[in-house]
Copies of this chain bind each other. A is one copy, B any other.
C-alpha cells in the first residue's frame, strides 16, 4: 500500500499543534493542545504522542498510512541527531525527541528548528512554490531565517546556518541576548522595538506612547501610524536596520526570492515596503531587480504545514 499521508507537529512553549495531511499539504485533521512545559520532558513527550494519536484517529488513519512525521521546535537543536539541545520555553535538554516517537509509531520522524521548518513549508506549499533558491526570514519576537539552496534546506556544518538574527548591522549597537552588540535581532525584532520604545518613554521623550501592561511592538506601529514622531523614528530606524540585513542577505545568496514571515512582517505593510526600498538603495541593481521580496503565504497553519513539508522533503 502506498503511504500518502504525513503528520506535522508544531511544538511551542505554550501549545502543541498537530496535523495529518496529504502529500499536497491539504490538512485532513488537526489538533492543538497546551504544552504545559513546566511539567517536564516526559509529560510533554506524552502530549506530543497524544496529538499524533489524535490526528490519526480523527482522520480515520493508522500508522501504516503515514510515510513520515515532521516536528518543528524552537532551537538550538541538532536536526541530524533529532536532538533538542536546549531551548528557553521547553523542558528538553539534550533530549532525543525523534527516537521515542519513531519507536512508538514505527514511522520515520524528522526534527528541525522553527525557521527551517517555516522555510521548507513556504518552499513546498507557500510563497516560495516553484523556486530553487529562496531565503525565509521571520521577524517576530526574534529574527531568524532558513535557506533553500538548489531545492533543499541548507543546514550548514553544525546545523546553525542562517543565524540571520545574530548578524551585526551596527557595530556599536545595543547588546543582544546572545552577548554580541548590534545584532539585527537587538534592533529590529518585535522585542527590540518594544524595548527601544520603553526606553524612550522612560527617558521622558514627548510621545503618545504609553507603557501599557502588555506593551509590544504592535502599539509602537499603531502610534507611528497615528503620527507620533517618536514612534515613527523608532519604527523607521528599526526597519532601516532590517532592510540592511535583508540587503546583505541578498548580496550573499543572490536568491530568487526572500520571503518575510513572522508577526511583525505580516502585521504591518510598512515592513515589506521599507525593506524593498532599502534593498533597492543598497544592493547591485541585478540583485535588487531579480530578487522578489514577498510576504509568507501560509497563514495560521504555517507551523504544522511546515512540519508536514519537513516530513515530505526528508522522507523523499
Contact = CB atoms under 8 A, between A and B. Distances in A.
Contact of A251 (B167, B281, B290, B291): B167
Contacts of A241: 171
Q: Give 10 closest A-B pairs by Cβ, nearest first.
A: A156-B254, A161-B254, A167-B248, A163-B251, A160-B254, A157-B256, A180-B282, A158-B290, A168-B244, A167-B251
Interface in A4-44: none
B171 A252 contact: no
A112 to B, nearest CB: 14
29 contacts: A132-B157, A149-B149, A149-B150, A155-B254, A157-B256, A157-B291, A158-B254, A158-B287, A159-B254, A160-B286, A161-B253, A162-B254, A163-B252, A163-B254, A163-B287, A164-B252, A166-B283, A166-B284, A167-B247, A167-B248, A167-B251, A168-B244, A170-B171, A171-B240, A180-B281, A180-B282, A181-B282, A249-B252, A252-B252
A1 interface: no
Contacts of A133: 156-157
Contacts of A255: 156-157
A156 B248 contact: no
Nearest to A152: B150
A76 interface: yes
Interface in A245-284: 247-249, 251-256, 281-284
Contact of A154 (B149, B158, B164): B149
A171 B244 contact: yes
Contacts of A253: 156, 161, 252
Query: Copy number of this protein in the oligomer?
Result: 2
Contacts of A159: 254
Contacts of A230: none
Counting contact residues on chain A (CB < 8 A from B), the size range is: 35 or more
B254 A164 contact: no
A295 interface: no
Given A168-B247, A252-B253, 15 more contacts: A132-B157, A133-B157, A150-B150, A156-B255, A157-B254, A159-B254, A160-B254, A160-B284, A160-B286, A161-B252, A161-B253, A163-B287, A171-B244, A180-B282, A252-B252
A169 interface: yes
Interface in A125-163: 132-133, 149-150, 154-163
Interface in A209-257: 240-241, 244, 247-249, 251-256
B168 A169 contact: yes
Interface string A175-186: 000101100000
Contacts of A282: 168, 180-181
Interface string A76-93: 100000000000000000
Nearest to A168: B244
Contacts of A154: 149
